[in-house]
Structure 1
Amino acid sequence: MQLGGAKDSQNCDSSNQKVHPQPMEEAANQNPEAVEALVSKIFTNISSLKSAYIRLQSAHTPYDPEKIQAADKLVISELKKLSELKHFYRENNPRPTYISPQDSRLAAEIQEQQSLLKTYEVMVKKFQSEIHNKDSEIVQLQQHIQEATQKRAKLEKNLKLRGLSSSSSKESEGESETFSTDLTPELFKSTVEIASKAIHDFSKPLINMMKAAGWDLDAAANSIEPDIVYAKRAHKKYAFEYHICQKMFSGFQQQHFGLKSENEANTNKDNFFQQYLALREMDPLDSVGQNPDSDFGKFCRSKYILVVHPKMEASFFGNLDHRNYIMGGGHPRTPFYLAFLKLAKAIWLLHRLAHAFDPEIKVFQVSKGSEFSEVYMESVVKNFVVDENSEKPKVGLMVMPGSGIGGSVVQCRVYLTGIKEVE
């Protein structure tokens, strides 16, 4: 009986050993290489997952859909690998009834990594939602661009048709004038005002950049035109407007504005007006972007080289890369060059319009020292009195040429010496 009891007791013990798996510590002792390899894979995978997540974040600034999709796939791949390691561990290591302190620490770290894994999964879903929203925004913007392009093409077509229809009607009536009724002295005068304002507007960023670069503006103004007596120090800004005017209007009376590559087909007066209509409603950057080597594109490059001196540009940008890019046939998208393009467009439109008239409109300039004439000149200083030491005010600088059209005069704008400004 005692033997039988002992035997039953042994069987019971044997049964208990089969039901309860060995502790993790004992399992590790049996195959430490396998456990160590598994843990190493887990930590390597976690490191790769973190790296993939960082790439996913970086792809959002700046926003790059292709990089985001690639990083998203990489994150998902690493998550799958980590999930596979988790299932592999659970299949080969059932939960023990007894957990040693070392196993507890490992279990806690696994729990922490699982929580981190869930966090990454939530973040990935968030990024995927953002990608979807961004893709939708891109599609909408593309639709807006397409609609705007169609509207612009329609507007340009209507402008051309207006000129051609007017031409056809006048020819049928036997009239010699072959242009749209829009080609009037009033249109030319308004275009002169726009060009004059463009010169003034571009002088502002030019002067501001010179100040930022540490230029002596007094010395610079004197180098442009010496021996000018200014009523106020602030009036020296007109020296820079004078410089811009002289460079931009150089070659104005020539049909091709002094460009080397002349296209004889564009000398027809109707073509001059059509070119005016085509560019008038366009952004100048769009124009040079579509055709960098057009006559207008060549005009912009040649005039920029004349207006902005190499020393001036080197002080602005620290090198001549900007200038070399333009001389190489490019049109940079820098704020400074964009400001210049607005000026170039205004002068180019005035030139196209002047040569569209029959006879073409001639511009006139007045030289330094000429006596002031209210018929042909307009003072940029509106309220002034003659200096007591001067007999008559005289021209110091011309900041916009004049012209004669339709029996009337468009006055040139001048800065006078021998005056005092009235506050």
Structure 2
Amino acid sequence: MANKVTHISDLIHRVASSCLTHHLPGVHGLESGNDVDGEIEEEEDAVQKEEEEVEEEENELRIWEEEKGAGPGGVSERVREMESLMGEVFDAVSAVKRAYACLQGAHRPWDTDKMRVADAAVVAELRRLGRLRDHFRRNGFGASATAAAPLREVVAPYEAALEDLKKDLKAKEAEVESLQEKLRSTTLRGSGRKNRLPSSRKVACASILGAPAMPTPELFETYMEQLKSASKSFAGHLLSLMRSARWDIAATVRSIVEGGGDGATDHNPRHSKHAVESYVNRKAFHGFENETFYIEGSLTSLLRPADFRRDCFAQFKDMRGMDPAELLGVLPACQFGRFAAKKYLAIVHQKMEGSLFGGVEQRRQVMDGTHPRTGFYGEFLRLAKAVWLLHLLAFALVPAPSHFEVSRGADFHPAYMESVVRFAGGRVPPGLVVGFSVSPGFKLGNGSVIRARVYLVPRAHGM
């Protein structure tokens, strides 16, 4: 038994000696052990650094919540305000979508009243979104909260509303001026007119200042006065250009007046503006009796008269407050655009434009389907719009007004004619006949007459 113990102790001694003097395979020495300890220490440092960063972020979040007024277990007032604002934004966006859907629905079937209401609703909701955006920026919610919102963006909605009000004001002023001119002309007529206006016409004329509910003869008379004003203005502009280009005005007038050359026009140069206006109106009213001024071969007024009348009055209401230049800038080839182009080419022929402007650039643009943005063409568009509106209104009335022309040499009848030259005492002296017609007259369905404007001359000259 003693020998066996000795043998085991010898074996242990040998193994221990071998381990001390020889490295076992796959076992590193002291240096390798030091490397492992270094890696462990680096991992511990990284974990500790990460824990410090998380702790620092939590401290910063706690400090931010304390600065914003958040309680330990509550929500800050600023967060609640932002949530309320976002709720309003979503409500406004939904309202815009609903209003736009209504606007699309008003196009089919075509309903101008619904379109106008839906368009106003869309604009109102978009402005509401603009106000929410400005509120968002002013209160510092967004990423650009440190910088104040640009002044231009803040006042943009108000500027747009102001421009709309200015346009409405201009339209109202034009209508008031037209009514005042009509009142003056009615006063001058005195008892010469057989059919006096009934008292109900005052109400109808007053409704013209707003949106007209239905076509009436009184409304037609008002817009005829506007057309007179526009034709006088354009004729005066055209005459001033002729004088600037050193035209022979007397020869021009003789060529305008049918049967000229008899000396009737040489005695009073003041009548030149009336002769030019006569030329302009003769070209502008040509084709007035046709539903499209012979631009198209349509027969809608005969096949579906009720629908055609409704469409004419709807177009009249839509266009009456529009700037014709802005309209043609968007829709140059619309029916009114083709009408304006046709009348411009008829009134201002090629030689005339070349003499007045030194070239035919405006004519070339019109023939190419566009509309020049010049002062002269803008003045012409004012006249073209007045004729077009009167034409729409005429075909919206039941029965439609019938227009009449006065031929040269006809006797003067105060019930159907109005002299463009004022005489002493307001009475036309006897022995005068029509030298030429300045603008046509109209017989209305209610029995009243819009008198034709004529230039009177002594009978020797008129015959």
TM-score normalised over the length of structure 1: 0.56
Residue 263 of structure 1: CA displacement? 8.6
Secondary structure, counterpart of 2:396 in structure 1: coil
1:154 and 1:186 map into 2 onto residues whose CA distance is 22
Structure 1 residue identity aligned to 2:393: L
Within a 5 Å distance, the mapping from 1:165-314 to structure 2 comes to 181-225=213-257, 226=260, 227=262, 229-230=264-265, 232-260=268-296, 262=298, 264=300, 268-314=308-354
Distance 1:216 1:181, change over 3 A: same
Which of 402, 415, 420 lines up with 1:380 in the alignment? 420
Which residue number in structure 2 is paired with residue 316 of structure 1? Answer: 356
Secondary structure, counterpart of 2:223 in structure 1: helix
Within a 5 Å distance, the mapping from 1:353-368 to structure 2 comes to 353-368=393-408
Which residue number in structure 2 is paired with residue 400 of structure 1? Answer: 439
Within a 5 Å distance, the mapping from 1:79-158 to structure 2 comes to 139=153, 143=157, 146-147=160-161
Indicate conservation of the 8 Å contact 1:238/1:397, yes or no.
no
Which residue number in structure 2 is paired with residue 350 of structure 1? Answer: 390
Structure 1 residue identity aligned to 2:264: V
Query: 2:368 aligned with 1:328, yes or no?
Result: yes
Query: Gapped runs of 5+ residues in structure 1?
Result: 1-134, 156-178
1:228 and 1:317 map into 2 onto residues whose CA distance is 30
Quote the RMSD (CA, aligned, Å).
3.1
1:285 and 1:364 map into 2 onto residues whose CA distance is 31
2:254 and 2:418 map into 1 onto residues whose CA distance is 23
1:141 and 1:228 map into 2 onto residues whose CA distance is 64
1:151 and 1:263 map into 2 onto residues whose CA distance is 39
Using the aligned pairs only, state the percent identity.
36
Which residue number in structure 2 is paired with residue 17 of structure 1? Answer: none
Residue 292 of structure 1: CA displacement? 0.7
Deviations 1:70-108 (A, max 9, x none): xxxxxxxxxxxxxxxxxxxxxxxxxxxxxxxxxxxxxxx
Indicate conservation of the 8 Å contact 2:404/2:441, yes or no.
yes
Query: Gapped runs of 5+ residues in structure 2?
Result: 1-148, 170-210
Secondary structure, counterpart of 1:197 in structure 2: helix
Indicate conservation of the 8 Å contact 2:217/2:397, yes or no.
no
Residue 313 of structure 1: CA displacement? 0.4
Which residue number in structure 1 is paired with residue 10 of structure 2? Answer: none
Which residue number in structure 1 is paired with residue 26 of structure 2? Answer: none
1:153 and 1:373 map into 2 onto residues whose CA distance is 41
Which residue number in structure 1 is paired with residue 72 of structure 2? Answer: none
Distance 1:330 1:148, change over 3 A: farther
Deviations 1:144-190 (A, max 9, x none): 564468779999xxxxxxxxxxxxxxxxxxxxxxx965422211111
Indicate conservation of the 8 Å contact 2:283/2:346, yes or no.
yes
TM-score normalised over the length of structure 2: 0.51
Indicate conservation of the 8 Å contact 1:381/1:415, yes or no.
yes
Residue 361 of structure 1: CA displacement? 1.2
Bigger Rg over Cα: 2
Within a 5 Å distance, the mapping from 1:29-48 to structure 2 comes to none
Distance 1:258 1:309, change over 3 A: same
Distance 1:218 1:141, change over 3 A: farther
Secondary structure, counterpart of 1:355 in structure 2: helix
Deviations 1:274-316 (A, max 9, x none): 1111111111111111211111111111000011121110012
Indicate conservation of the 8 Å contact 1:252/1:351, yes or no.
yes
Which residue number in structure 1 is paired with residue 56 of structure 2? Answer: none
Structure 2 residue identity aligned to 1:246: R
